[in-house]
Amino acid sequence: MFERFSKAARNAVRDGVQIAERDRAARVEAEHLLLGILAQDRTPGTDILVRHAVTTAAAREAIDAARRRGGLSTADAEALTGLGIDVDAVVAAVEHSHGEGALAAAGRRGRPFGWRVPLSAECKRVLQRCLVEVVERGENTIGDEHLLLAILRTGGTAADVLTGFGVTYEVVRDSLTRA
C-alpha cells in the first residue's frame, strides 16, 4: 500500500513513527501521524493546518492534555461536566494519589534495542482509510492531506485535537475541493 503514498505522506508516516519512538510510546498512534504531518513543510496537509493555526507545539499541548485525561475527548469531558462530574478534579485526585500523568503513563514503556514500535489498531485503520479517501476523491496518490482526512474520519484523540482547532473532515474536504 505504501507504494501509493506520495513522498510527503511517506515522510509524515516515517516522522510519526520516529516521534513515537522518541516519546517511548507503546504503539504508534494517530496522534503521532498528526505530529508527523506537522513535521512536513509546505504540503497540502500542512497548508490546511497552518490556516487553522495548528502548530506542532499547540497540537502537542492538546494531545498531552487529552492523554492526561486518560484519552477522554473534550466532548466527553464536556458531557461529563454537564452531568456534574468535574473531569479536571477527577484527574487531579488521581494524580494526587498516583503521581502526575498517572492516567497517561500506561502508554509508555521501554523498548528493546532495535525493536520497532508497532502500529496501534487505530493507526492501522487511519492508514487503511487513506486508500478509501483517495478512491472516493477519484485520485491515485495518497498524500498527507488524505492522512489528515483519514485521521478525522477515524476519530479518536487526534481527530478530537484537530476539531478543537476547527479542523473537521468537512473543512479539510472543502479546502481540498477549492484548491
Query: What DSSP state is assigned to residue 115?
Result: P
Query: Is 164 within a domain?
Result: yes
Q: What DSSP designation does 42 have?
A: S
Joined together, the cell numbers standing for residue 174 give: 472543502
Question: Domain of 94: which CATH number?
Answer: 1.10.1780.10
pLDDT (tens, 9 = 90+) of the chain, 179 residues, equals 677 899 999 999 999 999 999 988 889 999 999 999 999 999 999 999 999 999 999 999 999 888 787 766 666 777 777 888 876 777 667 766 777 665 664 444 554 445 678 999 999 999 999 999 999 999 999 999 999 999 999 999 999 999 999 999 999 999 998 87
- Amino acid sitting at position 53: A
Q: Is 136 within a domain?
A: no
Q: In which residue are the cell numbers 513515537 written?
A: 20
The Cα-based distances of 27 to 87, 107, 114, 117, 133 in angstroms read 26, 8, 15, 5, 24
Residue 154 sits in which domain range? 2-110+141-178
Q: Which phi and psi (to 5°) does residue 2 adopt?
A: -65, -15
- Tally of domains in the chain: 1
The pLDDT of residue 125 = 96
Task: Give me the pLDDT at residue 104, please.
Answer: 62
Distance between CA atoms of residues 17 and 117, nearest Å: 7
Cα angle vertex 152, ends 166, 129, to 5°?
160
Using alpha carbons, list the distances in angstroms from residue 165 to 70, 81, 104: 20, 21, 22
Decide if 120 is inside a domain: no
